[in-house]
Amino acid sequence: MAGISSLGIGSGLDIGALVDRLVAAEQAPAQNRLNSREAQAQAQLSAYGSLKSALSDFRDKVQGLAQADDFRVLTATSSNSEAVAVSASTAAVAGSLDLEVNQLAQAQTVASAAFATSTTALGSGTLTLRFGTVVTDADGAVTDFTQNPDKAVATIDIPAGANTLAGIRDAINNADAGVNASIINDGTGERLVFNAADTGAANAFVIEVADDDGNDVDAAGLSQLAFNTSATQAQQARGGQDAQLIVNGLAVSRAGNEITDLVDGLTLSLQTTTTSATRIDVAQDTGAAQQKIHDFVDAFNQLRQQIDQLAGFDASNGQGGVLQGNATVRGIDARLQRLTTSEVPALNGRAVRSLADLGITTQRDGTLQIDDATLSEALDSHFDEVGALFGIGGLVEGGGFRYIGGAEVTRGGEYAVAVTSLAQQASIQGAAIVPPAPSAPLVIDAGNDTLQLTVDGVTSGSIQLTQGSYTSGSDVAAELQARINGDANLKDAGATVSVDFSGDAFVITSSRYGSESAVTLNSVAANVPSSLGLSGGQAGVGADVQGTIDGVAASGAGRFLTAQGGAASGLEVEITASTMGELGTLTFSRGLADQLNTTLDTYLDGGGLFDSLTTNLSDRIDAIGEDRDQLAARMQQVRQRFLDQFNAMDTLLAQLNSTATFLANQLPGLERLAQSAGPSGDSQ
């Protein structure tokens, strides 16, 4: 008998479809459970993503308030902004002033004689640019020069191969010496024009020449560019001058038209002279601070509504959010509610301690509402305290110090600041000399014109003083200071000194404060000790400020004190006082925005709460995928079992059908055999 080659051949049934339905019926309960678990995990993952996004948006608003100075926005207005523009920083204070501009500052310009072309050769040698106040007569000749010790002297080499107008121009510009050079054709020829980089009368310059032709004052060679008290071959096209102002009736002058040191935190930009007073008003921009607070409240309310949507219960449709009852969300919500309703401990006893003091209260649904009248009053009366309520900041009571910052470990509180020893600058003082005078000048020559020193760890090159007769100690001090500060090594490192002639002795002082401040006179020319009183090997070291914060000895670095222990640990202040003793108190606050920002960081930053939650859910979804694979494998086994059973049945039915067919085929023969046997059963 032939075997069964296709399902259902023996029985005539659609066994494949029947098995598929049986497998599907057995798979459905488990499949539905997996689908339900996956849908729930995906919904939670999406909900956590929405909540994380809402928290991130809220943190963006919070970070804009994380420092107390973020609130200290001031506006400055000018009644004549076309003449005097004004801007204010957080260091400014509210107030007004009247200002008249009688003269604008301008930079000096010196021009050479006219030459045929820019390639005309002048001569080789050196040009020395010395800065200070220049006086000229009616003919333009330099009659007097007072050196500015704060401006470095620059000496520029002009080699024979680059001694044309263009070559000299390029050498000056490449030297970055405080003077810019250009070539201008004024119709009579090409002129080399020197322009001071800085405005102001004391920032003018003279041009001294060391001409390789041996004559530094004639109208030949490089000395054609001389512009000094010994020779005026170039001419002054425009003199350097200061800005002249009348401020609240007081005459004031400044070297530049951009003035930042007239009033703390105020920048004045002088555009033109005036014929009447310009009114400058500086006011706290409470409107900007109020808008920041409104933005904060709006962002909080949006976050609160998002939390309610995801984890609350909608009574109108009897349906809860995806995260309803979720312990994590309840914890986040509770933490935010506590922070927005609690006081900042460091502000205890002050007028502004919590959001409620600003008129910001919590409604029944957990959102915040603002009483604008109360908020405006708080900003008008306690502006700095509002900033301290939100951000990290320091409120100073007293004087002689200013708040710099705190560390992560610094706790909020009120801390006393005291100084036991002021910071000192390193200095060296030479021996007393006979003060120079017009009748007995101090002569600088080849025997006493060089020295080398180290300032704040930076060693200078060989410093050469300008030879000549000096009729006052202040003139020599100005030359020393300008030459030292003009040294390339010191200039590149930002190491500077001041030089004074005090008590008939020269004093060289580092501009830096503290133990890192040091001045060492390494070597001097042979006659410097006898003529200037300065000797090689002299050295001086500065001292750091010493004092206490919260009654505990603090670490000093220059003029900065940093608390080393206790609640104030890490708190830093700068000491500006000139006397020692108790200076006052500093209230350090970690405001609401800082606390919120710290809390939100633990939720949102890498490795934080949300990373953990989403990782767990992703792992759960992956596990469900693995369960699906296992279910599919198990159902394949079930399918095979059903197929085997139905195949066996089908085979049996085929066999039975075959037997039935055989029997059916034999019955007619049996009937004929019976008929032929007759009644008695005998055959005929």
On whether both 509 and 434 belong to a single domain, the answer is yes
- Give the pLDDT confidence score for residue 35 in this predicted structure: 74
**Which residue bears the tokens 């400020």?**
545
Band of residue 7 on the pLDDT scale cut at 50, 70, 90? low
Of all helices (H) and strands (E), which one includes residue 511?
Answer: strand 505-513
Q: Which two tokens stand for residue 113?
A: 């004689």
Max mean pLDDT among 32-41, 286-295, 519-528, 631-640 falls in 519-528
User: What dihedral do alpha carbons 446, 447, 453, 459 form, nearest 10°?
Assistant: 40
- 323 within a domain of the structure (yes/no): yes
- 571 within a domain of the structure (yes/no): no
CA dist 656 and 1 (Å) reads 11
Tens digit of each residue's pLDDT (9 = 90 or more) over 393-416: 899 999 999 999 999 999 999 999
On whether both 453 and 535 belong to a single domain, the answer is yes
Q: Which two tokens stand for residue 316?
A: 């109108």
- Give the pLDDT confidence score for residue 487 in this predicted structure: 92
- Secondary structure letter of residue 116 according to DSSP: S
On whether both 128 and 158 belong to a single domain, the answer is yes
On whether both 293 and 386 belong to a single domain, the answer is yes
- Give the pLDDT confidence score for residue 362 in this predicted structure: 93
Backbone angles phi, psi at 130, to 5 degrees: -120, 130
Of 284, 312, 341, the one marking the end of a domain is 284
Summarize the confidence of residues 244-253 as an average pLDDT: 95
User: What dihedral do alpha carbons 351, 357, 358, 359 form, nearest 10°?
Assistant: -150
Tens digit of each residue's pLDDT (9 = 90 or more) over 285-324: 888 889 989 999 999 999 988 888 887 777 677 777 777 8
On whether both 220 and 114 belong to a single domain, the answer is yes
Of all helices (H) and strands (E), which one includes residue 498?
Answer: strand 497-502
Average pLDDT, the chain: 89
- Give the pLDDT confidence score for residue 470 in this predicted structure: 95
- Give the pLDDT confidence score for residue 684 in this predicted structure: 44
CA dist 226 and 231 (Å) reads 6
Amino acid at 617: L
Tens digit of each residue's pLDDT (9 = 90 or more) over 448-457: 999 999 999 9
CA dist 139 and 662 (Å) reads 147
Distances (CA, A) of 542 to 31, 35, 104: 81, 76, 40
- Give the pLDDT confidence score for residue 5 in this predicted structure: 43
- With helix as H, strand as E and coil as C, how does 613-631 read? HHHHHHHHHHHHHHHHHHH
Residue of higher predicted confidence among 683 and 449: 449
Q: DSSP of 425-472, one letter per residue?
A: EEEEE----PPPBTTBPEEE-TTS-EEEEEETTEE---EEPPPEEE-S
Is residue 3 over pLDDT 70? no
On whether both 303 and 196 belong to a single domain, the answer is no
- Secondary structure letter of residue 562 according to DSSP: E
CA dist 458 and 225 (Å) reads 34
CA dist 460 and 169 (Å) reads 27
157 CB-side CA count, 13 A: 3
On whether both 136 and 186 belong to a single domain, the answer is yes
* Least confident piece of the model among 218-222, 404-408, 557-561, 604-608: 604-608
Is residue 271 over pLDDT 60? yes
Summarize the confidence of residues 112-139 as an average pLDDT: 95
- 510 within a domain of the structure (yes/no): yes
CA dist 162 and 169 (Å) reads 10
Is residue 4 over pLDDT 50? no
Determine the structural domain holding residue 520 and report its residue range.
Answer: 425-541
Residue of higher predicted confidence among 667 and 452: 452
Residues 519, 451 contacting (CB under 8 angstroms): no
- 550 within a domain of the structure (yes/no): no
CA dist 197 and 533 (Å) reads 35
* Partner residues linked to 185 by β-bridges: 190
CA dist 375 and 380 (Å) reads 9
- 549 within a domain of the structure (yes/no): no
Is residue 1 over pLDDT 50? no
Q: Is 299 left (phi over 0), alpha (psi -120 to 50) or beta?
A: alpha
Surface-to-core class of residue 25, CB atoms within 10 Å of its CB (0-12 exposed, 13-18 middle, 19+ buried): exposed
Of 541, 562, 580, the one marking the end of a domain is 541
- 458 within a domain of the structure (yes/no): yes
- 122 within a domain of the structure (yes/no): yes
Angle at 605 between CA 599 and CA 611, to 5 degrees: 110
Q: What percent of the chain has pLDDT over 90?
A: 63
On whether both 320 and 352 belong to a single domain, the answer is yes
On whether both 99 and 162 belong to a single domain, the answer is no
* Least confident piece of the model among 4-13, 173-182, 221-230, 547-556: 4-13
* Least confident piece of the model among 79-88, 503-512, 570-579, 612-621: 612-621
Is residue 615 over pLDDT 80? no
Q: What percent of the chain has pLDDT over 70?
A: 96
- 478 within a domain of the structure (yes/no): yes
Q: How many domains are contained in the chain?
A: 5
Amino acid at 217: V
User: What dihedral do alpha carbons 487, 488, 492, 494 form, nearest 10°?
Assistant: 0
Residue of higher predicted confidence among 395 and 53: 395
Please tell me the pTM assigned to this model.
0.73
Q: Which two tokens stand for residue 160?
A: 């024979």
- Give the pLDDT confidence score for residue 679 in this predicted structure: 64
> Which of 436, 103, 345 is closest to 243 using CA atoms?
103
CATH code at 491?
3.30.70
Is residue 6 over pLDDT 60? no
Q: At what angle do helices 592-604 and 15-63 cross, to 10 degrees?
A: 150
Of 391, 417, 450, the one marking the end of a domain is 391
Q: Which residues contact 282 (CB under 8 A, 6 or more apart)?
A: 74, 75, 76, 88, 92, 93, 94, 95, 96, 263, 266
**Helix/strand/coil for 400:** coil
CA 64 to chain centre: 13
- Give the pLDDT confidence score for residue 681 in this predicted structure: 52
On whether both 124 and 217 belong to a single domain, the answer is yes
On whether both 80 and 163 belong to a single domain, the answer is no
On whether both 446 and 531 belong to a single domain, the answer is yes
Backbone angles phi, psi at 236, to 5 degrees: -80, 115
* Least confident piece of the model among 245-259, 410-424, 636-650: 636-650
